Structure 1
Amino acid sequence: MITVENVSKSFPTNSSTGAPVVALRDVSLAVEAGSLYGVVGPAGAGKSTLARCVALQERPDRGVVRFDGLNTSTLDGRKLRDARRQLGVVDTRLQSERTVAGNVAAPLERLGVDGPQRRGRVGTLLDLIGLTRRASQLPADLTEGQRRRVAVARALAAGPSVLLADDPTGGIDADDAGAVLATLDRARAELGATVLLTTPDAGVARRVCDDVALLDRGAVVESGNVLGLLGKHGSKLANELLPSIETPRAQMTQYDLAVDVVLVGFAAVGALLPEAAGRFDVELATIGGGLTRFGDTPVARFRLGVRGQRADAALAWIAERGAHVTHTLYGLRNVAA
């Protein structure tokens, strides 16, 4: 388990004021062992600084990073090197003169792992990232997304318990990004690694993360389980993760009322609304929103136009069965378009 406790970090500045640049402000996170944790935030939020602090590449000015309770701020020399061996950091700078297999093998060579054992480990990792047939090729022969998958395999070579990936999908196309994320997910599922990734793209967290934190201006604005946040009123993360809703007011005024509803899971998305409409003899028309997936779980955020005398009862019944009615607009017939 990784625990970040009230970590703050500043850097000197070259400006005339001389005031330091504050990168992190009392950041606290708890990353469960074996989870895939995402830190989301805009450029300049402090994501990369946080990743370097967790990777023991930067020392916080204040606060503590712990691994399974071990206070890493007290480590130096050999103990610090031993702790760093438990961390795999995805570095996308591959050695251009070495093959794909050679790049993955490099950390094992430095550790003195013998040839047969080294080749076996490399083979396992190339299978994990789906590039076995590319083993003898050079990085220049690969797409950028494939090179990043090789970088993930190299970071996993020595068998770290924690894998750190700073913006692993930045600047690559959707197909390559999906393959990189699948590789990180397999590292967690098949190798048991705890994965911490940072990204400016909330969609990345939606696709693979168990838990997520929103970082802005160096501070944690919100954090929690990805699916658990969906029903949290006013959640900024949920708003980023869910499909957007845009509905002309003129369209909403055609109904008795309009509600925004979040549905989670196959049964809720597929059957809950039609069953409620039939049971309570009301019309539930989808007038905005859409479907997405959180990992393997389908999730919908719809704006519903509702007509019928038992509309409130229908919505209450839906909520009792796990739907989140996140916003309600009443009296729309009386609102000027």
Structure 2
Amino acid sequence: MITVENISKSFAAGSTGAPVVALRDVSLAVEAGSLYGVVGPSGAGKSTLARCIALQERPDRGVVRFDGLNTAALDGRKLRDARRQLGIVDTRLQPERTVAGNVAAPLERLGVEGPQRRNRVGTLLDLIGLTRRATQLPGDLSEGQRRRVAVARALAAGPSVLLADDPTGGVESEESGSVLAVLDRARAELGATVLVTTPDASVARRVCDDVALLERGAVLESGNVLGLLGKHGSKIANQLLPAIETSRAEVAQYDLAVDVVLVGFAAVGALLPEAAGRFDVELATIGGGLTRFGDTPVARFRLGVRGQRADAALAWIAERGAHVTHTLYGLRNVAA
């Protein structure tokens, strides 16, 4: 468990300017074994937060704790021991060393014996899917492949926490999925707690269990990714769910229109047709779409609704876990 408790951090802006506030009373709780995402625009304070958690920066105020241990009270050997539990993804590979050599570098510094070192490197190359590239140099790889090597190197010493600051930045979209898959495998197969910072909210949709939205150094919203989908007014949900665009003319054809979020295979596949048949109403999809959160399908639709028992149908859908919001009325109800 990583807990960040009300940390603030400022940097001097020079001889004439005021201090630059990077973090403002930031609090997070990262469960052990989870994949946690911190999302936000450039300049939000994500990298500063990552450095504070990585014990590379000391906050001006507040505390970072690992399993309850106050890291602010550590120095010397105890601080070095705490840092060894942290694997930090550094994208700067050693260009003169092979892929295997880059992954092995932390083990060499720790004095790990040859057979044990080779076995660990082999395991990690398999994890990142680059076993056949072991003897190649970083310059022979794509950017996405180099990022995967950087993740393997950060995992070499067996850290309990893996920190990745913008792991897909500058990576082609077709390769970014493989980088995120490696982070997910580090959590699932090695038991590492993974913290990712990124300006790309879709990263949270693809791999994160929990997420926090950081803007101007402050946490605006945080929570379980799937749990936020039904939260009215959630900025994170609005960024992650499919956009809805409908015209007034489309809405006017129905008695009313509502926005509905459906989570899971059963809800997405069967809930709306069952409600339409059960209550003898028309539920027409007039906007929105489908996406996936990890392996879970999620839909956000705008439904055009006709029928005398429309309210009962929508209430029945909501009782079964759908999130129904944003009611709009068609011309028929306006005229009435």
Deviations 1:43-89 (CA, angstroms, capped at 9, x unpaired): 11000000000000000000000000010001111111111000000
Structure 2 length-normalised TM: 0.97
2:30 corresponds to: 31
How far did residue 185 of structure 1 move? 0.2
Partner of 1:291: 290
Is 1:7 matched up with 2:10? no
| Aligned residues of 1:253 and 1:335 also touching (Cα < 8 A) | no
Gaps of 5+ in 1: none
Task: Give the Cα separation in 2 of the matches to 1:244 and 1:46.
Answer: 27
Q: TM-score, normalised by structure 1?
A: 0.97
* d(CA) in 2 for partners of 1:69, 1:95: 36
Aligned 8 A contact 2:252 2:329 in 1:
no
CA contact (8 A) 2:4 2:63 kept: yes
Conserved? CA contact 2:259–2:301, under 8 Å: yes
Shift of 1:171: 1.7
1:282, 1:306 within 8 Å by CA — same for their partners in 2?
A: yes
Q: Deviations over 1:116-167 (max 9, x none)?
A: 0000000000000000000000001100000000000000000000000000
Deviations 1:8-52 (A, max 9, x none): 0000xxx67421000000000000000000001011100000000
Alpha-carbon RMSD: 1.5
| Structure 1 residue 229, shift from structure 2 partner | 0.6
Matched residue SS, 1:25: strand
In structure 1, distance between residues paired with 2:23 and 2:331? 45
Tell me, yes or no, if the aligned pair for 2:251 and 2:330 is still in contact at 8 Å.
no
Stretches (4+) displaced over 6 A: 334-337
| 1:331 Cα offset (Å) | 4.3
Deviates more, 1:75-84 or 1:181-190: 75-84
User: What residue in structure 1 maps to residue 149 of structure 2?
Assistant: 150
Pairwise CA distance, 1:174:
1.9
Moved more, 248-257 or 120-129: 248-257
Whole-Å separation in 2 of the counterparts to 1:219 and 1:333:
45
Change (3 A) 1:281 1:52: same
Q: Percent identity, please.
A: 90
Q: Give the Cα separation in 2 of the matches to 1:274 and 1:180.
A: 38
User: Following the alignment from structure 2 to structure 1, what is the Cα–Cα distance between the partners of residues 98 and 56?
Assistant: 27
Aligned length: 334
Which secondary structure does the structure 1 equivalent of 2:259 belong to?
strand
Per-residue deviation, residues 284-309 of structure 1 (Å, max 9, x unmatched): 00000000001100000000001111
> After alignment, is 26-35 or 321-330 more displaced?
321-330
Give a deviation string over 1:255-274, Cα, whole Å, max 9, x none.
11000000000000000000
Residues 256, 333 of structure 2: 8 Å contact kept: no
